[in-house]
Amino acid sequence: MASRIVEFFGFTPLDPAAGPFVRSQKCPFVQDNCTKPGLGCCSLRQTGSAPVIICPNRLYADKHKFLGDIAVQAFGPGVFLTDSSSLKAAKTSGNLTGNEVAVFGKYWGSELSIPQPKSIDEEASDGFYIDYILARLTKDGDVAEFTAVEVQAIDITGTYRPQSEAHFKGLPFEDDLGKPIWNKSGLNWANVSKRILPQLIYKGYVLRRERKCGKGLFFVCPSAVLDKIKRRLGAKLLEYPIAAGTITFQPYDLDEVSTFGEPRKLVKGMSFTTTVEQVAYAFVSPMNLPEMGVYEKAIKAALP
């Protein structure tokens, strides 16, 4: 597949507003170093498709607004996100209200490592990480309830480096006739099966055993990733209310409108909630299989 960069350090390529971020290689969405130094791409567009976010930090726009959206969805209106220093001050002064939601995760504090069980033949691993834990506190500062959030963009295949190099020089990525050049890069959809779904299923089952995790797991991703997940599962997943043992898929995409001088807005899509069992069963028992005998036909066709 061929692709073009849609956002370069958070802005339309060659937008003068991106200049300070390009020169410092800082991400405008987290005010920290770009996670793709020397590349600076937040989203790509493949031929004939809408832009797809390829960097998780792009989803952290507006001070992690998506976490606030999820907190309200999980715990109800009136709750608000807070970091450890603010929590400590409120707890010391006795001003906790019961609406505070402690955030554990990148750019908010340490991620919480969950130890994996030790097998007979192996040493225990260092564990795995959940991107964000949102914990609503009581007025006494104890954990009232919590939920977990995974954030996933999509990796690429090939490279878009030639276009990045042009933009670092302040040049458009065009040929001598002024026509756009396309990068030889695509989106790594194989990761949906190899990495994304197995991790969601495992973490979903771990969280189901948590007494105070009554709202399950939230999975934030671009709509294109959710579409690929549904195609891979190949089954009509039943929808459930948010509860213990559920996975809530929450897509976000870029606004179609692009304005020079400011990043595109993130648009929240329709969420979909199902159970861990629904996802696990569909993963191991896909319904979108080819017709019977497809390999036999292929072998016969290839025989001399």
Q: What is the pLDDT of residue 37?
A: 84
With beta carbons less than 8 A apart as the criterion, state whether 225 and 235 touch: no
pLDDT at 264 over 60: yes
Q: How confident is the model at residue 193 (pLDDT cuts 50, 70, 90)?
A: confident
Q: How confident is the model at residue 93 (pLDDT cuts 50, 70, 90)?
A: confident
What's CA 209's distance to the chain center, in Å? 24
pLDDT at 125 over 90: no
Quote the crossing angle between the two packed helices 197-208 and 223-233, to the nearest 10°.
90
Average pLDDT on 96-115 reads 85
Question: Considering the chain, what is the average pLDDT of its residues?
Answer: 91
Q: Widest CA span of the chain, in angstroms?
A: 83
The DSSP secondary-structure symbol of 183 reads: B
Beta bridge partners, 158, equal: 185
Sequence-ordered strand ranges (E) for the chain: 3-8, 26-27, 32-33, 41-46, 52-53, 80-82, 100-105, 113-114, 128-129, 132-137, 143-151, 156-159, 184-187, 217-221, 246-254, 266-268, 272-275
* C-alpha separations of 185 from 11, 14, 62, 162, 182 in Å: 20, 21, 29, 11, 9
Q: What is the pLDDT of residue 116?
A: 67
pLDDT at 262 over 70: yes
Q: Is the pTM of this model over 0.85?
A: yes
Beta bridge partners, 128, equal: 114
